[in-house]
Structure formats: C-alpha cells, structure tokens
Amino acid sequence: MTPHPQEKAFPVSWDQLHRDARALAWRLSGVGQWEALVCITRGGLVPSAIVARELNIRLIETVCVASYHDYDTQGELQILKPVTEAVADLGQGGGERVLIVDDLVDTGRTARVVREMLPRAHMATVYAKPEGCEVVDTFVTEVSQDTWIYFPWDMSLQFTPPLHNG
C-alpha cells in the first residue's frame, strides 16, 4: 500500500514501537494504579502487551472495534466485542482504575466509542493525530493528520528507491 499523494509516510519498526510503548508505560507509571488494562484490538495488542508487562498489570481485557475494513480508509464502526461488565464495574464503575491502550488515535471515532463504554477510564495511545488528541489522556508521539503510520505488522523488508531520482 502506498500513501495517497497528500499523505506522508511514517514507517515504524518493531524496535521503535517497542521503545515508544515503553515510553508510554513510563508516562503512565506516575498517573495511577491500574486494576485492569483494556486493549483496543487489533492495533493495540502489541503496545498493550508491552505496557501491561512494564506496569505489572495482569487483568487484560479486549474491546474489538473494526473501523479500517480495507486497510486504507475508515468505514462504519463495528463493535465486534464489548468490554465485560466485570471490567467496566472496576473501581467506582465506569471503568475507574482501568487503562485503555491503543496504537493510534486518528480521528478519535474509535476512541469515543470505547470512552462511552468506560467513561472514567484513562485512555492512552502510542501515537496521536490532531483530530483525536483531545479524546486521549496520554500519548507519546503526535503526527500530522495527513501522515499514514505504517506499523511493523503491516510491512516487510524490501528495497526502497531514493527520494531523488537523478
């Protein structure tokens, strides 16, 4: 997949994602004591595993929301699996003492849907775009709205021609 002409490419290696997810955990370590982590699948699976390890969170839940149906454009949001009541009721209810983790907040649509399920939870993403920044509580790196992030699970090693042909 090549970025659209108006988009910038931001390829993220496994090493970079690991460093950034650990940086996210470091930022979160001073924010609160978490009883559970809710991972937004699928993109949040890898960062969630790293954050859960770093913060010693053992209760891991998933919320499954599909929005990118063709890996290129966002479509209709589908909740494939909601959060369990047991996790939603933690703390004083509404997800208090619950950490939500995803790889990226783009427009904020997915994050808003999950926020409705857990209004008192703390939402964190590794990367954030301007349209979605206000929906998350903590993130590591902001990229421009017209940047397409290529995650390591979407790429393979191959030759890349130089920007300048000549």
Q: Indicate if the pLDDT at residue 164 is higher than 80.
A: no
Residue of 89, 106, 137, 154 marked catalytic: 106
Q: Which two tokens stand for residue 92?
A: 């004083």
Q: Is 146 annotated in the active site?
A: no
Residue-range definition of the domain harbouring residue 112? 8-152
Residue 166 lies in a domain: no
pLDDT at site 108: 96
**Integer Cα distance of 45 and 134 in angstroms:** 22
Cβ atoms within 10 Å, residue 40:
25
Q: Indicate if the pLDDT at residue 2 is higher than 70.
A: no
Residue of 15, 103, 137, 146 marked catalytic: 103
Residue 135 lies in a domain: yes
CATH code where residue 74 lies: 3.40.50.2020
Residue of 70, 72, 102, 137 marked catalytic: 102
Q: What is the pLDDT of residues 116-137, one digit of tens each?
A: 999 999 999 999 999 999 999 9
Mean pLDDT of the chain: 90
**Total domain count for the chain?**
1
Burial letters 77-101, b for 16+ CB under 10 A, else e? eeeeeebeeebbebeeeebbbbbbb
Q: Is 102 annotated in the active site?
A: yes
Q: Is 103 annotated in the active site?
A: yes
Residue 2 lies in a domain: no
Residue 3 lies in a domain: no
Q: Indicate if the pLDDT at residue 71 is higher than 80.
A: no
Residue 73 lies in a domain: yes
Average pLDDT over residues 56-65: 96
Residue 1 lies in a domain: no
